[in-house]
Amino acid sequence: MNCAELRPLLQAYADRELDVANSLELERHLKACAGCAAEIKSLQALRAAFQSSELAYRAPNPLRKEIRKMVRASADANRIRESQWIWKFIAAGATVFAILTLVFRPAGISDSDRLLNEAVAGHVRSLLADHLTDVLSSDQHTVKPWFNGKLDFAPDVKDFAAQGYPLVGGRLDYLGGRNVAVLVYQRNKHFINVFIWPVGQASSGKKAVEYLRGYSIINREMGGLRYCFVSDLNEKELGDLVNLAGQ
């Protein structure tokens, strides 16, 4: 079976609802297809994010008081159970809204803004799902060869531990409809995701700084590759890493 035939099964596999025969067929395919494997990781990260307590919705006090009043006013056990279901529905709806707002773009968004949203979503996913790296190493000579055969380009991997930005490792991700390399660096307690993919034309080398949902994003094209740096670091410290990468 090819990617087109297996792609409709990815969601069921991520939700552990796929039958044994199709699961075995899909697992054989995932070992050979980096694109489908990256999509499975993204779906599994999203599933884990749904279960994160950090995304739990806390209702405002007026709503909480009103619900308690409704419960106290009724001695009917069924009424109490219904109120509890309403509460769970509100919490679940708020969680779904938070995830959809984070992952999906609104209608009419530009390609550039879509990429920024996807990059920030990928950064947040990696932290929520505790999946920063596929290869955990500070050795650039370990991380760089790991990408061989998994991408149609070779990312430049450098360690900047001496300058205060140690390399943590690397992973594959999916951005803008294609597989991308991600290098992960650390600055004190802050993590930086650097998404890398080829560009179709010559680079100007000019930096572009953006801000989205409290994160700093710096885009830069170097040596025919697009680099997207994402972190909650301030602009200056993130810019210092960008400058180091460009040397």
Query: Is residue 126 included in any domain, yes or no?
Result: no
pLDDT for res 243? 93
* Residue 6's pLDDT band (cuts 50, 70, 90): confident
Q: How many domains does the chain have?
A: 2
145 and 212 share a domain? yes
23 and 78 share a domain? yes
pLDDT for res 142? 95
Query: Is residue 206 included in any domain, yes or no?
Result: yes
152 and 87 share a domain? no
Region 105-130 average pLDDT = 77
Domain containing 7: what range?
Answer: 1-104
Stronger pLDDT, 235 or 36, i.e. the higher one: 235
* Residue 218's pLDDT band (cuts 50, 70, 90): very high
Query: Is residue 85 included in any domain, yes or no?
Result: yes
**Among the listed ranges 18-32, 69-83, 184-198, which one has the minimum average pLDDT value?**
69-83
Mean pLDDT taken over the chain: 79
In angstroms, rounded to a whole number, what is the distance separating the alpha carbons of residues 58 and 157? 42
Region 135-141 average pLDDT = 94
DSSP, collapsed to helix, strand or coil, labels residue 43 as helix
In angstroms, rounded to a whole number, what is the distance separating the alpha carbons of residues 11 and 8? 7
In DSSP notation, 73-102 reads: H---HHHHHHHHHHHHHHHHHHHHHHHHHH
Query: Any idea what the CATH number is for the domain that residue 231 is in?
Result: 3.30.200.100
Amino acid at 232: D
pTM exceeds 0.75, yes or no: no
Region 162-169 average pLDDT = 96
pLDDT for res 228? 94
In angstroms, rounded to a whole number, what is the distance separating the alpha carbons of residues 228 and 212? 13
30 and 94 share a domain? yes
Which pLDDT tens digit goes with each residue over 62-79?
777 777 777 776 655 555
